[in-house]
Amino acid sequence: MKRILIGSAVVTFSTCINMPVGLSQSIATFNSVAPTAQTQNLVLPGTHTFQRIIRSGTPLTSGGNFGGNPDFTGYVPIAGSSTNGYLSVSHETAPAEVNILTMTFNANKLWSITNSGKVSLPTADIGLTAAFCSGTVTPRNTIMVCEEVNPNGDSNGDGYDDLGWIIEIDLVTKTVINQDGTGGVDKLWAMGRQTHENVTIKSDQSVAYWGADNISNGFLYKFVPTVPGNFSAGALYVLKTTAALATGTWKQIANTTKPERNGVVAASVAANAYNFQRIEDVEIGPDGRIYFASTTTGRVYRLNDGGATVNNLEVFVESINYDVDGSGPFLPAKFESPDNLAFDGEGNLWVLQDGGDNHIWVVAPTHTTASPAIKVFANTPGGSEPTGITFSPDYKYIFLSFQHPSGNTVGQTDAAGDNVIFDAGTTIVIARKENLGAFVLADRLIKMNAEEKNSGIDLNWSTTGMNDRTSYEIERSTDGVNFTRIASIPSSFNNNASYSYFDNNLPLSNTLYYRVKQCKVGNQCVYSETKLIKISSQKFLKAYALSAGNLIRVMYTANDAADVLMQLYTNTGRELYREKRKVSQGLNEFNLTIENLPPGFYVLKVMEGDKVQSRSFVK
């Protein structure tokens, strides 16, 4: 996948559906979010939420850390379960890696990792690995991963160029599968070497399809294994068609010898295969058609495979502006750079965009260019590309990752109550709010306000239907990431109640974040939304004694460079000292000598224009 970093925007909002509580809705029941450039956060419809599963650098239980550039995120059920399974995450790195997480869905309606570790990739058998991009969950619940690079080079001397292949992985043992049953483990040599993005397999394992992610030879391939399910041998084909589309022919490519398998791209060029320009995903739809994304042209194509030929080859989604709320007028959204694809249980096609604004799209099965049925599901975090994507068997949960987010410092609260900043590769799960998270706070904690008042911050909130809460804890942060509890207020145990707290011991910051942590019987807790307070006029001052009382340390935060008057008083109001001092924007730190003062209480006053700050200290 190409790397495109998008600058942050400042507007984040979404449109949600107002539905009666308890009415069953599918994962694809939502109104489009307003399509915007990326902001620092993930913007979802108001009906949905997300939970962070893991981020790059997190230690794994079996050693090592979760890798960078997470890509294909494949949920593999254990015994068909939608609440207990493996999550396989490929990493577009060099050397490449695959991390396997054992996942369970707990009583709090949250996902947890019970085991995690890396797949063994023995270079003596398979050579070097690099750039594991997308892939597939196979019908027999293994994972196939694909290398998105194909430079020449044979590091282990086995006759195969190292890079540009498909690999099948056993999730239970975290090992590469030995498909041909001889020697060590192997890559799927018979499927040929290209710049792979993904692969998809028919449910009876009789055919596999994939595309080449290359702008000059973006060919569409299919592979018919000699033995269904064993992809170590079989017939390889590439598609021939014309710009008029409609029909096409599968041309067989020699793939028996090592040179033939290494040279599949050159053989495809010689066979006049059609260049679709960077095919980044291929999927088999519920209607039996083959769907594939051309990232460079911005199109999604589909066809019927008739065996030796194809028919009904057409553009399913064109690269144009769509009215994504279906009623107009609405800010149009440009469909472009489609990458990863996945179908949900209702036949909707989910499309992850690789470029532009990197949206997540949903295309209804009834969609046509003449009669569009397409929505924007998400605006993704700044600098990131959405990657993945798979569903749980019941289609309640979406698993995907965000690759290379950057420049983000502002967090948002996920379904687990965690403050999530998208500043590193991150794997998440998305669901409707009624299916993820033990409590939905937004419908119960209402009218939460935070405002500057009398040199402090006045917090107040009211609740409804919450007589099972034991306490409300006030948490404050200066960076939106690291929160500290500053107060705990007992619950009144009334269904409807009002609470307040005044924070008059402010830290040295002109930006403050507040949230309320509410806990119930059993010590189950959930967070409110986070309130941001910008203090534009307030200056902050702290003073405390140092060096056995001979110095005081002064810390003064100013919004701008300015001249201030510093005055020192006794506790009876008698002035002892004054000094004019220049301060710079931000935090200023300096010491004042007080060795000649007798022990006692003193007041330091800093005056800037008509604004005065005072702090007392003891010598």
The answer to whether 515 and 484 are in contact (CB under 8 A) is no
Residue with tokens 């690269």: 319
Please report, for residues 58, 515, 527, the alpha-carbon distance to residue 411 in angstroms, rounded to integers and kept in the order given: 18, 12, 13
What single letter denotes the amino acid at residue 156?
A: N
391 bridge partner residues = 398
Question: 439 pLDDT band (50/70/90 cuts)?
Answer: very low
* 113 CB-near residues (< 8 Å, 6+ apart): 53, 54, 61, 101, 102, 103
Q: 527 pLDDT exceeds 70?
A: no
Mean pLDDT of 125-137: 96
**355-391, pLDDT tens digit by residue?**
999 999 999 999 998 889 999 999 999 999 999 999 9
Q: Which of 408, 308, 321 is nearest to 369 (CA)?
A: 321
Task: Give the helix, strand, coil percentages of the chain, each rounded to 5.
Answer: 5, 50, 50
Q: 452 pLDDT exceeds 90?
A: no
Question: 497 pLDDT band (50/70/90 cuts)?
Answer: confident
Question: 5 pLDDT band (50/70/90 cuts)?
Answer: very low
Q: 601 pLDDT exceeds 80?
A: no
pLDDT of residue 12: 26
Q: 157 pLDDT exceeds 80?
A: yes
Percent of the chain with pLDDT over 90: 59
Please report, for residues 52, 185, 356, 423, 447, the alpha-carbon distance to residue 450 in angstroms, rounded to integers and kept in the order given: 27, 61, 36, 27, 10
State pTM to two decimals. Answer: 0.70
Q: Which of 373, 367, 219, 392 is nearest to 292 (CA)?
A: 219
Q: Token digits for 97?
A: 């890696």
**250-295, pLDDT tens digit by residue?**
999 999 999 999 999 999 999 999 999 999 999 999 999 999 999 9
pLDDT of residue 246: 97
The number of beta carbons lying within 10 Å of the beta carbon of residue 92 is 27
**480-492, pLDDT tens digit by residue?**
656 788 998 887 7
Q: 457 pLDDT exceeds 50?
A: yes
